[in-house]
Amino acid sequence: MSSTARSADAPASSCCGSKSRAERKTGRRRWRAGGGRANAPENHSGDAAMTTRIAFIGLGNMGGGMAANQAKAGHAVAAFDLSQAALDRAKAAGCAPVGSVAEAVKDADVVITMLPAGPHVLKVYSEQIIGAAPTSALLLDCSTIDVDTARKVAGLARDAGYAFADAPVSGGTMAADAGTLAFMVGCDEPDFARIEAALEPMSRATFRAGDHGAGQAAKICNNMILGITMLGTCEAIGLAEKLGLDPVKMFDIVAKSSGQSWSVTTYYPWPGPVPTAPSNRNYDGGFAAAMMLKDLKLAQDAAAKSGASTPLGAQTEALFQMFNGLGYGGRDFSAILQMLRGKLDDLPKE
């Protein structure tokens, strides 16, 4: 149960149901009337009555950092994953590892899941969370899955008396570790204040995209943009190199010109200009190409069902399918640059 891609900084907008991180500081400790417990105070006094009990299911590259930030906020985090190594990391970060989903959720105020795909989410909620967690618990699925499955899980939760939200994230592993993710939430409007408070230790910005499923719709569209812009960035770098330009100098120019994007300024796929980018560690970590391919497939499936025209999205999916099929799905998605350059022999597959 381990699963990523961050959007460009977006201004907070009340029409989108979002507040800035600074604005949320003032009221973040309050739950909506009739909701869960108050969050722990900043001084972590140790008063059990003031500690929110979090069940966190799925401690992969993203979930591990997210769970750690809930623990840093003073919450009691019961953490579960199928990987013992992930459980060990969670324990070192202040979480309490447990042996099953049922054990994690049994006394939870908030249940947060971060799982690989729709079938995992449906199975875990229908068989292990709904009915095992108190009906007072807030259920938050932060996985990236298809809209139909998100709505199905929401319906199961609603029928059983739970408040539920699909709340996928943008920001990648760096933001997960830093607690600066962007959340796109699909939920019943009256539940949003409570959801925003629960997500705050992990969040830079939280947006209510609409009703159930809308969070997943927003995430799918966001990541299609990301895949397309990263592919365009890599193509341009490859062309610049062939034309005799230094890709580092190209960064200096594009970062201040009309070609600027998140893929350039935050995640540049050539080593050097952005020290934190995976390109500086041989494309290890970050947002796996296989996960980008999954998201692009979700976008193409949604486009087919809705009748939307997405030719660039389709071509981007095809190229990431090729890259993944060659055995490089475990590398960061920006490593597709090396396929376009014809340099795959220099790129480890694992």
As annotated, the active-site residues are 219
Q: Which of 192, 180, 124 is nearest to 156 (CA)?
A: 124
The DSSP line for 88-120 is HHHHHTT-EE-SSHHHHHTT-SEEEE--SSHHH
DSSP 148: H
Nearest to 202 by CA among 171, 166, 162, 164: 171
Distance separating alpha carbons of residues 115 and 86, to the nearest angstrom: 13
Rg of the chain in Å (alpha carbons)? 20
Structure-block tokens of residue 167: 């709340």
DSSP lists the bridge partners of residue 203 as 181
Structure-token pair, residue 147: 């809209």
Closest CA to 184 of 151, 137, 143, 130: 143
CA-closest candidate to residue 76, choices 99, 44, 101: 44
d(CA 282, CA 346): 9
Query: Which residues sit opposite 185 in a β-bridge?
Result: 208
- Nearest Cα to 323, choosing from 40, 143, 315? 315
